[in-house]
Structure 1
């Protein structure tokens, strides 16, 4: 279990470090990485189907009732493979199990499924979890996770100045660009002591590269990008104000829906399905506009904020979130209830009733 603050580099370490290293150095292993999302059992089943074969349906349904199902599937998938072959499950942004999955039963089944697969006798399944440090206490609430923590706990702290300087300079050098010493030193100095600075560094470097002089990243380009503290906020504000009034209203609706409001923790990003947004040309154009600026990421099915640094750094988004936090919480709960209702074949028994319905109606009507 890899713990670290938001922006400490957990996802980079898991994806560009661990996953890439395993794929390059252990060809007999089968590795998959996913984030839990609203329905972690379903997400795990979809990803697992791509590794062990078959379709997600049976894999999704079987684990729901049998905590040893993943353990068995891993053994079956590797039957006849070399003895050193393993299945590596990497669950990034594990805090989504607590922030997005509202079904406590599904959450418990998902955790049991993973931990049984990784800890069963003669297991050929390895489990690596990346989770934000402020969700450490949430992890201790599950007995099997708590039991694993003493031996499986790996904290990730901030980079040293030398490590950060290498991270700033070497990718550019390998790509044939020149990173002048002055902007590199300025970025390292600006990032020193800042928690979660890596996504800000990444964004500032991109904006500096877009303003480069030939093949050189210069101090002037870094200043023009807004430096470390302003690059993300400036990009977000410029991208938003470049929209027409109607499309700004759409962007104003989209960003709060992509944010999970913290309950004693920081606000975090929240992945939603494309189908949860209006299917019209204007909404599609707004999403593409925001994606080109790297403010959000899109795939065939989902939408999410590019990184939580945007939530921390953009004042306009802060204001939107603070205007009506309870209203946003209600909206998120209604969206999740709608998803559950649709998944149950629009079962009337899953609709709001009584006090719950009355509580939902009043704020929505207001």
Structure 2
């Protein structure tokens, strides 16, 4: 018999869709993938070359459980340059992906019966992590009124994801300020930080430079097209870091060594130029998707970051998604997987080539007509 904690652990519906799509491909069908949140670009060449050199140099052993000091210093330099935050490398731990960092963050502060506020809609794994740790996810809109109604004596933390998945929106300043005034801990998931095409995006360090209430999560997967390298990091105060370090030591020892050394090249000028080109291309794709979506007559918010568009299609998004995949071989993510507010929505990922996205949108147009 499975453990009780697994009974409330939902599958990741995006991956369920991917499984069906891959089966269709095995049958010879040409599927357009607009469901997966993974950059289609290859990892920038300087990072790859550094990985090869690391292998040749024998950097294949465990590192310090916090991560190599060179990388932790680079991360601190980044936040100093970008936000003026004077962080200490000892307050940074390198993890095997940002999802692991998020799990560590929640594990370090959550007790049975606690409540964690999450946006509706939001990244589906949030609720699973929270329930797995014996706490309760509380869905709410990220408005002051909704947050006020959601807060209780059991509220321990809020997860803020900006830019957000699936909305592609950035969180407003007043939401951060309200959270810091009223909630014990703020877990700031900033994995899409840097993937912003218009306007201002905040980081938690702008509101809590000493990280007294903050656990900041970030990584290299999305911005640097390093999903398979499994590399993220956590930043917080000494107490939280010591707790997370124990988890790291006991469960994973250290993040992948080769990935850590390779990531040192992410901060160099040559890589930054490559990333800028990727951002420009993402923005071009974003505008294409929005143009089609509006022509479909679908209602859509204003996505200015990440690489998702989350339109309201005016009907059950899950039913639409599975019919579309079966008949037109275009894979989208059902909005309901991200929260009850997503029931009549679909998520379109533009982390695919411009040509593939356009073909996929044309197929959707035919399907609607």
Alignment TM-score, normalising by the size of structure 1: 0.34
Name which one, 1 or 2, has greater alpha-carbon Rg.
1
Which of the two has greater helix per residue? 1
